[in-house]
Amino acid sequence: MCNPPFFESLEDAGLNPKTACGGTSEEMVCPGGEQAFIHRIIEDSVSLKHSFRWFTSMVGRKVNLKILISKIREVGATVVKTTEFVQGQTARWGLAWSFLPPRRNLISPNAPIKTNLSFMLQGLQRKAGAFQVLKSVETFFLSKGASCKSDLASFFVNITISGELAGEMFNDGTKTDSAIDGFSFRIAVFEQTPGTLLLRGSLLRKDSSNAGAFQLLFSQLEENLKMEFLHKSGG
């Protein structure tokens, strides 16, 4: 895992009196700070995506994490993972991404098909209500090229993934004779208690053969919303 220069200047490195900075400028300083340094790694990963399965870096400032994740999504990574390292009073974050194509067979043929999925958002700030979360759900799927139809009064949005878009999302980029069917599903938002929302997703065709693709998209939505509303509120 890359341990990038965390600072834009040595003066920045000395701003925290609790931090003992004994490194050289080559080790600790990069023009633009760690964000610019990791941006270059992300750009390099695009040209190297067929040579390596995973790319990783440490992040020293949590405020940079969301910006870097957006950049990684922008360049086409299919998987983004984060974790936190804590030693004493020092926290660092691990960031990993991959361009591996999602497998067409996303669930075991023997596994029960899950056409209804759900997750909770807990510890939300007061301004992050059901309406704001529903709009973020819509924005997330619109950014992927899906079509959305929202019912703001009932707090749900219907999402349609066309066959062409599904092929782009879930094929590995090679030409195949078998087309991928489009599919539709609904995401509904329910307020449980103040600061807690339940999000429920359901395929609109219960016999859909795209249950695996639906599960993958729902998992990506969960990761995106938790990053937007929970990590941000965590400071």
User: How far is it, in rounded angstroms, from Cα 7 to Cα 19?
Assistant: 13
In this structure, of 26-40, 46-60, 73-87, the range with the lowest mean pLDDT score is 26-40
Nearest to 141 by CA among 214, 65, 232: 214
In this structure, of 13-27, 42-56, 137-151, 213-227, the range with the lowest mean pLDDT score is 13-27
Q: In which band, very low, low, confident or very high, does the pLDDT at 178 lie, cut at 50, 70 and 90?
A: very low
The average pLDDT across 19-29 equals 62
Mean pLDDT, all residues of the chain: 81
The average pLDDT across 41-54 equals 91
Query: Hey, is 164 helix, strand or coil?
Result: helix
Residue 11 pLDDT = 66
Instruction: Report CA-CA distances (Å) from 148 to 112, 122, 156, 198, 230.
Output: 27, 25, 10, 20, 24
> Any idea of the CA torsion for 94, 135, 183, 220, to the nearest 10 degrees?
10
Q: In which band, very low, low, confident or very high, does the pLDDT at 171 lie, cut at 50, 70 and 90?
A: low
Nearest to 133 by CA among 187, 68, 78: 187
Domains observed in the chain: 10-98 (3.40.50.150), 116-233 (3.30.310.220)
Q: pLDDT for 111-125, tens place per residue?
A: 566 789 999 999 888
Which one has a higher pLDDT value, 105 or 185?
A: 185
